[in-house]
Structures are given as structure tokens and as C-alpha cells.
Structure 1
């Protein structure tokens, strides 16, 4: 979930909830601004009642569906990890490079895009639990440079209800990514782009996915903890959970650890700003093999920083999202029980209901956490990589999918599309 150089229609740093959640409710007011709001009925609660029964685990059928969908989406490589009470299913598709001969491994490192936001949000909530920041604090208390910051709360940054402009929706960033993919971006440069443009709405008066929010939160975490964000993540999250293959790279580090899967994207960031799908002529060329995608494997991801520059593997993502969703038996609790429950209850609808999708689960977003059908988790996309991670605490199901040609030539988010197909088979109702 990181928009490629994201525009509202581009799936990269934007949460592609529409791909997995077919309907929602009218966007309401944000959740309580207190540090720990009273639990209440939310979109997440409604969604949990939709998926009540697991289908018998059909390993061969799930793997076949995963492989056929990945092929249909034109993926060079993809990986699946599913955990249910009946057991675990892992599968891989294709090769680590287009036209190569090294098979994808479940241990391959990839860029996880906006799944990184769940790391940033969790650190902020840990600081809330320690009494070092409050959800109803105005952002101006920590960043006096934010316009109208005295009326924007920390919670509104977490829930994407601040109204601040998404810097990844600008021509400036997209063009720079095309012209200088190796450029090292300082987080302050990113914030400056977002703050220089008019807000989408007054604080708390709407919902708009904006990476500016999460970069600000990353800078505030560094300010409060007195350490670089990669070290904060390692000390507070990765180390305690044993996520040895997960990291936030230094700003000037564009490498992926081995083993790795290379990533590819079509055309240009500027060309796909308004529509991630290739124009008809380029789509035909891609289908015919006369147009080749770009290799983004070692493009510098610093433009995404705390909003989407993270690196991980399928196994580490599964372990992480289980901890995120509060699965019993995880090595450590990320938050105290009250704050953890409040985080789950913070999720509120982000989309309006559609008359032809009555009964479908709502698309919801909360404190750096999404509700995707039966799952708590997130999605991630940046040029070349798309990933989905989710944990269903009601049925104890974990699902992770990643793919390495993103978006697909027809504009679909490949991992989210595969995940949606698999969910239809995992649940009986």
C-alpha cells in the first residue's frame, strides 16, 4: 500500500481497500480523541460477522488458484503463506527475475510498501502507552510548521483524517522518481511538499489516504525516542518479535538482502498517475511482449520512508500481522490489552455504501491499521512490489501474499487480487 507516486486513483501508497472490500458505510466522524476511546461498534465488527465459518482446507485447490491468478496477472514471481487451525499452506510461483531460472522462495526479501505504516503507527501507540504523547495532542505541539496544526490531532494523522495533502500525489515527486530513481530523499523534503499544498478538507471532516501523515509520525517518533527510526523499529518491534529478516533501510541504502525477488513496473510513474492501467496501445504491446517493464529492484525507496520503505519476507510478515492483530501466544504483546483493543475498535468506515453490494464487509481504517474483509492488517505497493497481510482473530487465520510486477499491466494490484480470490475459498460463507 504505497502509491507508486501515488495519486488518488493509483494504488501504490494508497490503500486499495476497494479491491478487497466491496462496500462500506458513509464516512462518519473520527473516533474519540481520547487516548483510549470506549470500544464501540465499528465497520470492523460488522465485517467480522460476515466470515464466520471456514471451509475445509483444500491445499491443492488453493495452490492451483494462487498459481493461475498470478499467471493471469502477468507476474514474474509471487508467494503465498496461509495459516489456519487446520494447518499451514505455503506456495511460490515463477522466478525471482523475469525470464530467469531461480525459483521464488518463501524466504525472499521484498519491499513491503505501506505495510510499513503499521510499524510507524505501533511505535506511536507504544509512546501513547508510555505517556509520552497523547492521541488528542495537536500536531503543532511537535511540529509547529504544520499549517493549522493546532487543530490536527495525532489521532487524525493515524486515521488519515487530517486533510493534509498526500505528497505522493504530486507531479513533482512522480517526475523526480522517473528522472532520478536513485535519489536519496530526506523526510523533511517529503513533508515540505505535502504541507505546501492546500488540504483536502478541514481536520476531522473527511478521509483521505495521505503519506504525509505517516512521514510526520515517523519524524515525531524520532523526536520523542531520540533515535533513528530504523533503530526504533528494531528495538521496539523487530527484535522483541524475532523478525530477523525485517528492516527499514537507511535513507541511502537501496539494496535488498539476499535471497531477494526483483521487482518490476510498467511504463512511468507520471504516465500512470491518473490510472495505473496501461493505455490500450501499451497494454497490447505488453501482451505481445514488445513492451518490457522497468526493473525497480534497487530504485531508492527513501521517498516512502516511514510510510512505505520497509523490507520483509512472507514469514516475517505473517508473524508481524499476527502480533498486530493480538494473536495469543506471540512472543511479546505490542501494546497493553486495553490499548490493543482500542486500536482494533478505532477502525471506522472510509467509503460510502454501494446499493448493489449490500451485506459486503466495510472498508475500514483506524490507528495505522486497516480492516480488510475478515482481516486486520494492511496492504503495500510501490513500483515493482505489491503485498497483502492480514490476520483474522475470530477464526485464527493469517494470510500473506506478495507479487513482483506491480501494478499489473491492466492496473490491478496483484497481491490484493490474489488474496481476494483466496478468501473466497478459505471461508465457507
Structure 2
């Protein structure tokens, strides 16, 4: 059982100190009580013809009692740590005291308590037999001097020893059971602690497996969509463009003006460009074997206008789906700037915070009204909606700050866990 710091003296629990003091003071208290009763008995019986004069008896009783008290005080096992020597001398002094006055049986019985605590197992029962003989002598008024008293004394000694042995066995068995229960409790506590650690480790592994499965599923879904776009939409647009070019070469579309045909060809080319850009977005090749800042720098290098990339904070690896989303936001934002903003420069800032990652894309273009972005016919609204949808899937947010004639700023924020420095 643990104890609080207030319940200790040095490194010894307070209850252990209290128990040691009790064991040291108890025999002294019993000696004092025995001396008082024995002196009283001596005074009351000194008138008898065969009684030892109390002027002699009392000093002898007091002297032996003080000797026993001094031995207990100086050589008690809690002080000297020699229990066998202490107990044997204590037994001899007890026998002398009972011989002087039977009332020292008051002091004798405590030897039954001290013996099992201070003696090794091989000496416990012989010592208890000696204590039983001394105690039995006190029962019959002193050591026997006649055959009858000797028989009675031996019978009482045997009965007392049998009773003490039985009680001692029960106490020892109880103590052994208590020690065994304590050991089992410690083992159970250690087992529970190991089980909790294992469960915590399993929960961590499970979360890691779920994250990996989600990332793998997202990558597989992106690959599937990319394949479908390539096999259907991109192929169809490519076929339309080739058919229009073939018809133009063969003269099937001859004429002075053909605005509808030219517009259809232009729309098909733009649709094919968008399809290819979507394919690139679904296949994040730039992130394979690279970090997010390097991937963003690669996208910026391929843009049609100057782009400044700045990274602040300790770079760390994010989950794949989060890095893909941020990369796509950069790609979509730069595509919108190129098509609609008429900007001369763009700044991209990637900021790693303690619990979040922020991405800023700012341009010096013509700007627009964010509240009316959904009504724009040039498709800008669709691009911002796609960004918000992407960010929402990873618990991110997008803030758009723009004023006509004063440029545009996009701020994407993703919450994330503790920093993990990228290698």
C-alpha cells in the first residue's frame, strides 16, 4: 500500500515507524504494570511467617525489572537488529521475574507476540515452548515444588504450547495468504498496466492503418477518375478537334466566315486543356518522392507568369490527402490567375504553424467581387467552389479577399497535429 509524502518519516512509512515504537514500548509498559502489582502483592503478604521481608524483595524485584527494561530499551530488535540474542536474554529475565513473583505473568504473555516476529522459523516453536512453561508457572503461583504441582505445571505447559502453536499457525497462514494476495495484486496491477499500454499501442496502430487505408483509397479513386477522364472526355475532345482539322484540310468547311466552327474548335481545345489539367490534378506526380514546398515550387516554375514562393516555419510531412489538396489549390489558383486576373506577379506563401498549415496565393491582377463570384460567366466561380470542396474534405477552409482593381488573395487553412520534421 502506498503512502503519501506526509505519511513517511525519511524513507520509512509512518505506519511502520508507529508499529516499531509500539513493539518497543509495549514490553516496557507491561514490565511497569507487573512491577506495580508485584510490589503491592509483596507488601500485602510480608506479615506471613514464611514471606521474604519486603525490604529485601522489593529492591530485588525493582533491580531485575530495571535490568529487563534496560535490555529491552537498548537491545530491542528495532534498535540493534539482533533478535535471537534479544529474545533469549529476554526469556531468561522473564523466567527469573516469574520466579520472584508470579504476577510477572502479565509481562510474560507478550513473548508470544515477539517470538514469531523476531525468531527464525526453526526457533519459533522451541521458544514458544519455553514461554509456555514460564507462563504456566505464573498460573500456579510460581515454579512447582511438589510432584502434583509438577504434573499440573507440565499439563498446563503442554496445553498452552498446543494452543499457542495452533494460533501461531493460523496467524502465519493468514500472513502468508496476505503476502500472496499482495503479490498477486502487484502482478495484476502490472498486467493491467501492460494491457493498457498494449491497447494504446493497438489504438495507435489502428489509427495509422485507417489513415493509410484512407489515403490509399483516395489515391486509387483519383487514379480511377483520371483513367475514366482520359479514356472518355479527353479522347472525345481529341477526336472532335482532329475531325474539325481534317474537315478543314479537305475543304468541307470552306467559306469566308465560319465563326461557329472556329468557336467550336476553340472550345474543344480549351476543354481538352482543362481535361488534361484535371488529369494532372488527379495524378499528383510532383509529390512522389518530394516534399510539398518543392512540389509547389515546381508548379510555380511551370506557370505562364512570375511566381514567388516563400516557405515559413519548420517544414513537416502532412498526410498525403492534405498535401494533395494544398497542391491542387495552388494549381487551381495559378490557373485562375493566368486566365482571368491579368496579373503581372503572383506570390505564394506556405506557412507551417504549430497546429495548422496556411497557404496564401496573392496576385496584383484586376480582382473581382467575391460575393458575386457564382454569377461570373468565365468559370472562376466553379474553380473556387472546387477549392472549397477539396479543402472541406480534409476539414480545411478557404478565405477569398478581393476588390475589383486591387488584386486577389486566397487563404487556405488546414488543421494538423504535432510537428514532424520532414527529412
Instruction: State the TM-score, normalizing by the size of structure 1.
Output: 0.19
Greater relative contact order (Cα < 8 A, sep 6+): 1
Higher share in strand: 1
- Computing the radius of gyration from Cα coordinates, the structure with the larger value is 2
Instruction: State the TM-score, normalizing by the size of structure 2.
Output: 0.19
